Amino acid sequence: MTLLPGHDEHVGMLRQELATLETRVQGLQAASADVDLHEAVARIAARCDAIVEVSDLVYEDLSARLQRLEAELVEVRSLVAPAAQVAVGSPPAPSLHYGDVVHRVRELVLQLTPPGATVAVAGKGDPALVDLAGRTGWHFPRQADGTYLGFYPRDDAAAVSLLQEIVLAGAGYLVFPATSLWWLHHYPGLRQHLEQHHVVVVHDATTCAVFRLRGGHAAGASAVPTAARQARDLVDRLLPSDEPVALVSTDVAGYQPWARTVVAVPSVDEPDGRDVALDRLRRAGVRYLVIPHLDAQRAPAVNLWLGGAVEMVIDQRQVCAVLEITDHLPTGARRPPPQGA
C-alpha cells in the first residue's frame, strides 16, 4: 500500500538535482577561488538531507496510522455485515448486545477448556473477556508484562509472530470473540497458520472461534513435568517473586503456569535471536536467564551468544543454571544479590 504516491520519486528527484548542483559547483570551484560558494552549497545539501529524513519519518508514521484505521474499518464492517446479508423479506436475525456476546464467550470457553488452562483472548484488552473461572486469561496480542498490546499487527507475518510468542509463553487456547472474528479474514496468513498447525475447537459466528494451540499449556498445573517443577522451585527459592526471567528452552510451555513473568528464548543458536536478544531482554526488565539442564557444551554457547555479558549465579547440574545479565547495569552499580545467593 502506498500512502503518498510518488514519495520515493520526489525524494529521488531531489537527490538527483542536488547531485547535479554539486557537479556544477565543482566546475565553478575549479575556475574560482570563491570558497564561500562551496560552503553555502554544502549547507544547502545538509538541509536537504534533513528534510528528506523528516519526510521519511512522517511517511512511515502516516502509513502505520492508515493501516490501523483500515483494521478498525474491517472490524466495523464485520459488525454490520450480518445485517446486510439478511435476505429481502426474511425476518431480521436477533442482535446481541456486546454484554451478551461476552457472557456467551465466557460460558463457551469454560465448557471447552479444562481447569488450569491458559486461554488467550483477542478482545481489545477487555478485562471481562479474560476473567475465566479456574483458567488463566491472557490478552491477545499482549506485551511482555501481560497487558494488552494496544495496536494491531502490521501484516500476516507480524500476526503469526504474535501467535508464536504466546505459544512459547504457554498459552493453550486462543479465542476470537464474534466482535474479533474479522482477524481471520483480515490476516489470512494467520488463519492458515492456525488451521495448519493448531486445532479448531469451535467456530460459531454468533459467539466465538476457539483454537487449541499445539505446544501450549492446555491442561492444568499437574501437567508440568517433574524436571520443570524442580527448575521453577529452584528459581523461586533463589530470586524474588517479582523478578522476571528469560527461559532458554525449546519447551517453554512445559514450565507453565508459573507465577512470575517469563520471557521465552527458544534457542541460543537462533541467528535472529542473537541480534535482538539482549535488547529485548533489557526492555522486558529481565536480569536473569534460566537454562534448564545446562551441560558443558551449552555454557560456552550461551556466554558467546550474549557476548560475555553474563555471570553465573548458580549451576545445579541436574536442574538448571541461572545466569545474570550484567552489561545493562550502570557502571559501578550493583543490584542487591538474589535471595539465597
Q: What is the pLDDT of residues 112-156, one digit of tens each?
A: 888 888 999 999 899 999 999 889 999 999 987 788 988 889 899
Q: E strands of 115-258, at which residues?
A: 118-121, 136-139, 173-177, 199-204, 208-212, 245-248
Structural contact between residues 248 and 293, judged by C-beta atoms closer than 8 angstroms: no
pLDDT at residue 221, as a whole number: 42
Check residues 327 and 221 and name the one with the higher pLDDT. 327
Q: Are residues 230 and 207 in the same domain?
A: no
Query: Taking phi first (over 0 means left), then psi (-120 to 50 degrees means alpha), and beta for anything else, what does residue 170 get?
Result: left
pTM, full prediction: 0.44
Q: Alpha-carbon distance 120 to 314, whole Å? A: 34
Residue at 337 is within a domain: no
Domain of 190, in residue numbers: 98-212
Q: Are residues 113 and 207 in the same domain?
A: yes
Q: Are residues 54 and 135 in the same domain?
A: no
Residue at 138 is within a domain: yes
- Report the chain's mean pLDDT, rounded to a whole number: 74
From 149, 180, 212, give the residue that closes a domain.
212
pLDDT at residue 329, as a whole number: 46
Per-residue pLDDT of 261-271, as tens digits, reads 887 765 555 55
Residue at 233 is within a domain: yes
Q: Are residues 121 and 189 in the same domain?
A: yes
Check residues 175 and 152 and name the one with the higher pLDDT. 175
pLDDT band at 208 (very low <50, low <70, confident <90, very high): very high
pLDDT at residue 143, as a whole number: 85
Q: Are residues 232 and 185 in the same domain?
A: no
Q: Are residues 195 and 262 in the same domain?
A: no
Lowest mean pLDDT among 86-100, 207-221, 290-304, 327-341: 327-341
From 155, 182, 212, give the residue that closes a domain.
212
Q: Alpha-carbon distance 184 to 168, whole Å? A: 21
Q: Is the pLDDT of residue 212 over 50?
A: yes
pLDDT at residue 294, as a whole number: 54
Residue at 234 is within a domain: yes
Place of cell 459488525: 79
Residue at 92 is within a domain: no
From 173, 192, 212, give the residue that closes a domain.
212
pLDDT at residue 76, as a whole number: 57
Q: Are residues 163 and 234 in the same domain?
A: no
Q: What is the domain count for the chain?
A: 3
Q: Alpha-carbon distance 283 to 303, whole Å? A: 20
Q: E strands of the chain, at which residues?
A: 118-121, 136-139, 173-177, 199-204, 208-212, 245-248, 262-265, 288-292, 310-316, 320-325
Q: Are residues 319 and 274 in the same domain?
A: yes
Residue at 19 is within a domain: yes
pLDDT band at 330 (very low <50, low <70, confident <90, very high): very low
